[in-house]
Amino acid sequence: MNEYINLIFKCVFFYFMIILALRIMGKREVGELSIFDIVIYLVMSELLALSLTEKDGTVFRTLIPLITLASLQIIVAYLIMKFEKFRDLIDGKPTILIHNGRINQSAMKKERYNIDDLMMQIRESSIGSISEIAFAILETNGKLTIMKTNDCKVKYPFPLIQDGKLQHANIHDGRFSVSEILESMKKNGIENIKQVFLCLYTKQGFSFITKTNLEPLTPCEHEKHA
**What are the pLDDT digits (tens) for 44-65?**
777 777 776 766 656 677 777 7
Q: How far apart are CA 26 and CA 222, in angstroms?
A: 40
HSE (CB half, 13 Å, CA atoms) of 56?
0
CB 90 within 8 A of CB 78: no
- Is there a shared CATH topology between the 93-148 domain and the 154-210 domain? yes
Q: State the pLDDT confidence band at 184, using cuts at 50, 70 and 90.
A: very high
CA pair distance 12, 26, nearest whole angstrom: 22
Say how far apart CA 216 and CA 199 lie, in whole Å.
Answer: 9
For the segment 78-99, the average pLDDT, to the nearest whole number, is 80
pLDDT of residue 160: 94
CATH tag, 154-210: 3.30.240.20
DSSP state of 77: H
pTM: 0.60
Overall average pLDDT of the 137-146 stretch:
86
How large a percentage of the chain has pLDDT more than 90?
A: 23
- What's the pLDDT tens digit per position in 20-49? 766 665 555 445 566 667 777 777 777 777
> Which residues are 136's β-sheet partners?
98, 146
- Antiparallel, parallel or unpaired: β 154-162 and 165-166: antiparallel
Give the phi and the psi of residue 31 in degrees, each rounded to 5: -70, -15
CATH topology of domain 93-148: CRO Repressor (3.30.240)
The domains of the chain are located at 2-90, 93-148, 154-210
The CB-based long-range contact list for 214-221 (8 Å cut-off, 24+ gap) reads 217/188, 217/189, 217/190, 218/188, 219/184, 219/188, 220/184, 220/187, 220/188
DSSP state of 57: -
